[in-house]
Amino acid sequence: MRILKPSDIPATEITPREVYLKRRQFLAGMAALAAAPALSAPAPPAHGARLAGIQASRFSTSEAKTPFDAVTTYNNFYEFGTGKSDPAENAHTLKTRPWAVAVEGAVKRARVYDIDELLKLAPLEERIYRLRCVEGWSMVIPWVGFPLAALIRHVEPTGNAKFVEFVTLHDPRQMPLQRSSVLDWPYVEGLRIDEANHPLTLLAVGLYGEVLPKQNGAPLRLVVPWKYGFKSAKSIVKIHFVEKAPLTTWMKAAPNEYGFYSNVNPQVDHPRWSQAKERRIGEFFKRETLMFNGYADQVARLYRGMDLRTYF
Ligand SMILES: Nc1nc2c(c(=O)[nH]1)N[C@H]1C(S)=C(S)[C@@H](COP(=O)(O)O)O[C@H]1N2
Ligand SMILES: [Mo]
């Protein structure tokens, strides 16, 4: 996102996925001819355990889903590398059991949850959401999870809980890029309490009916479909209720480029590129980006009276 100069941007970031996959296959084929045992084609994406008892949701889009193999091989998860295929290749070192999530701060019932308790906290739903990355691509992903509001109800926030901070695991033995300073670790994101309580805000534990693949943020990640993808913190170990807006990782990295709200907004450009259009992964022609990523009917009221150029 910020780290790469245009000249450094790998082809995977600016090329439609089919094109680069074909190119990779071609290059792999050439390499195989040159050094047969040394290189092989990339392994197909691994499938996980099926999740049981998933209910459909009225919040799902009917748009065509992005194929499983694209959702699980074209990722942003800088803890495992900055290239789109790095997370799928490297995230196997992440250990997702046992996994504890501390829910703390301005709440009456702070506690540490085991991930398997969280899986039983509320009925699991399938939510087919659009995901719009700030880089200009988008996908449609059938998440499995439950509303964050269900967890918030359990811990009973106090009047001082104005914001919620989400913190990713910090363990350089499991997350190799945390030995580098490419970002200020651990990855931190945040929401205003009303955004966190909004019925669209999801804690995801799966996708395509299966346990969440590691590269997608196993075992627990946030999904906030009307905001740019980077708000959706992966592999969460702490949910912290606070009085002041958390300083997020991307605000620290480039405060003029990434604000706290980060609502998808085709009218407010990133300082270095337009946000008016997006490329849906798997499609050739660009689409118009929709206000609040198409969720304006549900979320515009949260921002009534706010200047979205100031609060970007
Ligand atoms: N911990 C962590 N969470 C993260 C990221 C990251 O680098 N580290 N990348 C973000 C970005 S930029 C996007 S677009 C989404 C991508 O989610 P996906 O790979 O499951 O599609 O994850 C977000 N969550
Ligand atoms: Mo992103």
Q: Which of 228, 275, 266 is nearest to 249 (CA)?
A: 228
The answer to the question of residue 60 being in a domain is: yes
How distant, in Å, are the alpha carbons of 64, 77, 182, 218 from that of 92?
Answer: 29, 13, 20, 11
Q: How many Å lie between the centroid of ligand 2 and the Cα of residue 208?
A: 20
Quick check: pTM over 0.85?
Answer: yes
The C-alpha atoms of residue 201 and residue 204 are separated, in whole angstroms, by: 9
Domain CATH number, residue 217: 3.90.420.10
78 lines ligand 1 (CB under 6 A): yes
Q: Please give the backbone phi and psi of residue 147, each rounded to the nearest 5 degrees, phi first.
A: -65, 135
**Which residue is closest in CA terms to ligand 1's atom 8?**
77
Q: Which of 128, 140, 146, 137 is nearest to 71 (CA)?
A: 140
* pLDDT single digits (tens) 9-33: 444 444 444 443 444 444 444 444 4
Q: How many Å lie between the centroid of ligand 1 and the Cα of residue 136?
A: 14
How wide is the angle at C-alpha 87 spanned by C-alphas 86 and 90, nearest 5°? 80
- HSE at residue 30, side-chain half, CA atoms within 13 A, is 5
Q: Which atom of ligand 1 is nearest to the CA of 1?
A: 12
The answer to the question of residue 2 being in a domain is: no
The answer to the question of residue 4 being in a domain is: no
Residue 222: both structure tokens together: 């946030």
Structure confidence at residue 44 (pLDDT)? 80
Ligand 1 pocket test, pick from 230, 231, 251, 281 with the greatest ligand atom count within 8 Å of Cβ, gives 230
Q: Which residue has the tokens 């250990």?
A: 95
* pLDDT single digits (tens) 229-271: 999 999 999 999 999 999 999 999 999 999 999 999 999 999 9
**Residues of the domain holding 73:** 9-303
The answer to the question of residue 254 being in a domain is: yes
Q: What is the SS3 assignment for 303?
A: helix
Q: How many Å lie between the centroid of ligand 2 and the Cα of residue 229?
A: 4
278 lines ligand 1 (CB under 6 A): no
The C-alpha atoms of residue 297 and residue 305 are separated, in whole angstroms, by: 16
The C-alpha atoms of residue 36 and residue 41 are separated, in whole angstroms, by: 11
- Alpha helix (H) residue ranges in 35-78: 68-71
Whose atoms come closest to the Cα of 270: which ligand? Answer: 2
The C-alpha atoms of residue 143 and residue 222 are separated, in whole angstroms, by: 10
Contact 140, 128 (CB under 8 A): yes
The C-alpha atoms of residue 119 and residue 204 are separated, in whole angstroms, by: 10
Number of folded domains that form the chain: 1
Q: What is the SS3 assignment for 6?
A: helix
Q: What DSSP string runs through 114-165?
A: EHHHHTTSS--EEEEEEEE-TTSEEEEEEEEEEEHHHHHHHH-B-TT--EEE
- HSE at residue 304, side-chain half, CA atoms within 13 A, is 6
Ligand 1 pocket test, pick from 72, 76, 129 with the greatest ligand atom count within 8 Å of Cβ, gives 76
Structure confidence at residue 257 (pLDDT)? 98
Q: Which atom of ligand 1 is nearest to the CA of 186?
A: 1
Count of Cβ atoms closer than 10 Å to residue 9 Cβ: 11
Q: Which atom of ligand 1 is nearest to the CA of 87?
A: 19
The answer to the question of residue 224 being in a domain is: yes
**Which residue is closest in CA terms to ligand 1's atom 10?**
230
The answer to the question of residue 178 being in a domain is: yes
The C-alpha atoms of residue 10 and residue 27 are separated, in whole angstroms, by: 15
Structure confidence at residue 99 (pLDDT)? 98
The answer to the question of residue 308 being in a domain is: no
Residue 87: both structure tokens together: 């997370």
Structure confidence at residue 39 (pLDDT)? 53
168 lines ligand 1 (CB under 6 A): yes
The answer to the question of residue 82 being in a domain is: yes
Distance of CA 200 to the CA centre of its chain: 14
User: What is the overall mean pLDDT for the chain?
Assistant: 91
- Could you say which residues of the chain have pLDDT below 50? 4-38
